[in-house]
């Protein structure tokens, strides 16, 4: 946990850090809180890899924290939360938060607790969001052949 505090302080003062890989670092409980708190305040990270850490919680704490970070972070493009022991509810919440983010492009959430039909449902939501955004942001074309 002491190491996580130092990493928290380090992340808060980094202005050029674009990628952070903390896969399989045995982050859980308080150490995960320190890291997620620092990530909320670091506005330069674009790629975040937190796979194979234990974010399991009976109060859905880490799903809420990760989802909130994703919706508010101005530059985060990609995250990997695979095999993080997230519950079904947390995983669904994170995906829905991803779909409301202005910058987020891709998310890996495999090997978390998410049954087949929920995965299909979330893919449908994300696909609808992509089509909706593309349709609403198309530039109108001018017809120059009009007289």
Q: Which CATH number is 62's domain given?
A: 3.80.10.10
Would you give the distance in Å from CA 32 to the centre of its chain?
15
Domain-located, residue 20: yes
**Buried b / exposed e along 97-125 (16+ C-beta atoms within 10 A):** bbbebeebeebebeebebeeeeeeebeee
Q: How many domains does the chain have?
A: 1
Global pTM reads 0.79
Q: In which domain, by residue range, is 24 found?
A: 2-136
Looking at residue 124, what is its pLDDT? 85
Maximum pairwise Cα distance, the chain: 73
Give me the tens of pLDDT residue by residue for the chain, a chain 147 residues long: 578 888 889 998 888 999 999 999 988 888 888 998 999 899 999 999 999 999 887 778 888 999 999 899 999 999 999 999 999 899 999 988 888 888 888 899 989 988 888 888 888 877 766 555 555 555 555 555 554
Domain-located, residue 84: yes
Looking at residue 31, what is its pLDDT? 87
Domain-located, residue 37: yes
């Amino acid at each position: 946990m002491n190491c996580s505090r130092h990493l928290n302080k380090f992340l808060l003062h980094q202005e050029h850090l674009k990628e952070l890989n903390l896969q399989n670092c045995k982050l859980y409980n308080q150490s995960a809180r320190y890291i997620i708190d620092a990530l909320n305040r670091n506005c330069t990270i674009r790629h975040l890899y937190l796979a194979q850490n234990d974010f399991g919680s009976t109060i859905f704490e880490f799903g809420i924290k990760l989802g909130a970070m994703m919706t508010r972070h101005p530059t985060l493009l990609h995250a990997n939360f695979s095999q993080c022991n997230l519950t079904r509810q947390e995983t669904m919440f994170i995906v829905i938060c991803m779909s409301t983010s202005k910058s987020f492009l891709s998310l890996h959430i495999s090997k978390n607790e998410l049954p087949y039909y929920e995965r299909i449902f979330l893919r449908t939501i994300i696909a609808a969001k992509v089509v909706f955004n593309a349709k609403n942001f198309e530039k109108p074309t001018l017809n120059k052949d009009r007289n």
